[in-house]
């Protein structure tokens, strides 16, 4: 057996382990969405199965899109990255148009499609990823004018998130840009100055809105307003306390009975803690650690720079959101509107995340030296080579 055959066999095993991990995360998510929502759905939607059925539909749609994405060539996505990002940015902008965008919980983050509320911010994270990889990998091939034009396409959605407002997605998108810039051939002298400037801007945005400052104060002492801003996180604490080590049993959460807001969405991890206890919490954490481990192993095993960066970024963004969500519901981080990937209820989230996984499996098909690899051209496609630090 040749070295190439051994490498390919190892990569196939990693991809199988990765797929199995995603399967168990999604299966666990379906179970927990039903457990956390059936009483609320029965009282408010007329059927205990309302959210379960919708989640299964969204998951089926996401798997279909993931399969379609896995059949695409990475070169196609790479060459059309700016166009794809511009399209998603346009859809994102529509959330701010009165009569088209839907206002919920003080934010304009959704578009009403009739059968579901679409949240474009879930998709912009991955279209932004594709555009950022092309931009940072080819930065030194661009003229100053091109650099300015293309960077506007990367910061534009961040400005929309500030206006909506959606600081959680803003933060993750900004982290994605920084992560890609670090992995790419983007010059270090520009990288460090951009990171410093971005940090100053993010802190300014954070403290510019009174409600964000209130969230920070609530995070520091939720009991100063236990019936107002601190209510949600205190109920989350009670859920984990009630769960103890082994939990109260699947379906036996008390907090989900109209005490804990967003029990089947942003705070579903609290229901896991109450019903399955510390054992269930550790199981979820281990599943996400496995997801990150196998995903990064796949990234390091690929022989294409673009493919490697794409896989690493998808894994990083989903893993980051997962642990931010866990940090929020455990009271380690200030409250922000982020759900738990693959586990929380939400059509846009599950479809976008599964579609991004389709990109990972598309990257597994790359054969170096053939047409999958972008080649140097006057249009700034860039020759893929090791990053210079």
Give the pLDDT confidence of 362-372 residue by residue, as tens digits: 998 865 444 34
Q: Identify the sign of the CA torsion 90, 132, 122, 304.
A: positive
The per-residue b/e assignment along 92-119, b for 16 or more CB within 10 angstroms, e otherwise, is bbebeeeeebbeeeebbbbbeeeebebb
What is the rounded average pLDDT of the residues 310-325?
96
Of 140-149, 199-208, 363-372, least confident by mean pLDDT is 363-372
What is the rounded average pLDDT of the residues 304-325?
95
360 confidence band (pLDDT: 50, 70, 90): very high
What is the rounded average pLDDT of the residues 24-38?
96
Q: Count CB neighbours of 278 within 10 A.
A: 14
Distance CA 151, CA 157 (A): 11
378 confidence band (pLDDT: 50, 70, 90): very low
What is the largest distance, in Å, between two alpha-carbon atoms of the chain?
67
Average pLDDT, the chain: 88
Q: Count CB neighbours of 83 within 10 A.
A: 11
Are the C-beta atoms of residues 205 and 376 closer than 8 Å to each other?
A: no
Q: Is the pLDDT of residue 358 over 60?
A: yes
Q: Count CB neighbours of 176 within 10 A.
A: 22
Q: Is the pLDDT of residue 287 over 80?
A: yes
Of 6-15, 117-126, 144-153, least confident by mean pLDDT is 6-15
Q: Count CB neighbours of 341 within 10 A.
A: 27
What is the rounded average pLDDT of the residues 310-336?
94
The four Cα atoms 78, 18, 318, 183 give a dihedral, to 10 degrees, of -50
Give the pLDDT confidence of 45-81 residue by residue, as tens digits: 989 999 999 999 999 999 999 999 999 999 999 999 9
Between the two ends of the chain, the Cα-to-Cα distance in Å is 36
374 confidence band (pLDDT: 50, 70, 90): low
pTM of the model: 0.90
pLDDT computed for residue 107 by the predictor: 86
Distance CA 334, CA 330 (A): 10
pLDDT computed for residue 369 by the predictor: 43
What is the rounded average pLDDT of the residues 185-200?
90
Give the pLDDT confidence of 241-279 residue by residue, as tens digits: 999 999 999 999 998 887 888 899 999 999 999 999 999
pLDDT computed for residue 301 by the predictor: 92
Give the pLDDT confidence of 175-187 residue by residue, as tens digits: 999 999 999 999 9
Instruction: Kindly list the distances between the CA atom of residue 356 and the CA atoms of 174, 313, 362, in Å, as whole numbers in the listed order.
Output: 18, 10, 10
Q: Which residue has the higher pLDDT, 189 or 370?
A: 189
What is the rounded average pLDDT of the residues 368-382?
43
Q: Is the pLDDT of residue 380 over 90?
A: no
Structure tokens at 214: 């209130």
What is the rounded average pLDDT of the residues 119-147?
94
């Amino acid at each position: 057996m040749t070295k190439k055959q051994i490498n390919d066999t190892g990569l196939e095993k990693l991809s199988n382990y990765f797929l199995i991990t995603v399967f168990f995360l999604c299966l666990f998510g379906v179970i927990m969405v039903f457990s956390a929502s059936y009483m609320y759905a029965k009282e408010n939607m007329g059927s205990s199965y309302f959210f379960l059925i919708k989640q299964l539909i969204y998951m089926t749609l996401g798997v279909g899109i993931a399969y379609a994405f896995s059949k695409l060539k990475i070169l196609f996505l790479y060459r059309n990255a700016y166009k794809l990002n511009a399209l998603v940015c346009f859809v994102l902008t529509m959330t701010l148009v009165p009569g088209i965008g839907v206002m919920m919980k003080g934010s304009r983050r959704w578009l009403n499609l009739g059968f579901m509320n679409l949240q474009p911010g879930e998709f912009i994270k991955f279209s932004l990823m594709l555009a950022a990889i092309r931009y940072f990998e080819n930065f030194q091939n661009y003229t100053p004018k091109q650099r300015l034009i293309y960077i506007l396409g990367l910061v534009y959605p961040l400005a929309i998130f500030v206006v909506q407002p959606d600081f959680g997605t803003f933060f993750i998108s900004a982290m994605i840009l920084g992560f890609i810039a670090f992995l790419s051939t983007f010059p270090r002298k520009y990288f460090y100055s951009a990171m410093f400037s971005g940090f100053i801007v993010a802190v300014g945005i954070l403290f510019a809105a009174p409600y964000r400052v209130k969230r920070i104060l609530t995070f520091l002492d939720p009991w100063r307003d236990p019936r107002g801003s601190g209510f949600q996180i205190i109920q989350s604490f009670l859920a984990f306390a009630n769960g103890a080590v082994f939990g109260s049993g699947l379906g036996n959460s008390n907090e989900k009975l109209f005490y804990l807001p967003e029990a089947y969405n942003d705070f579903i991890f609290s229901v896991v803690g109450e019903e399955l206890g510390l054992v269930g919490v550790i199981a979820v954490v281990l599943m996400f650690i496995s997801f990150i481990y196998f995903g990064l192993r796949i990234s390091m095993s690929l022989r294409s720079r673009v493919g490697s960066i794409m896989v690493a970024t998808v894994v990083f963004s989903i893993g980051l959101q997962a642990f931010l969500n866990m940090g929020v519901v455990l009271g380690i981080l200030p409250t922000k509107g982020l759900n738990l990937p693959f586990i929380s209820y939400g059509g846009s989230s599950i479809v976008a995340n599964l579609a991004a996984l389709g990109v990972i499996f598309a990257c597994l098909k790359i054969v170096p030296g053939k047409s999958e690899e972008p080649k140097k051209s006057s249009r700034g496609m860039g020759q893929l080579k090791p990053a210079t630090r």
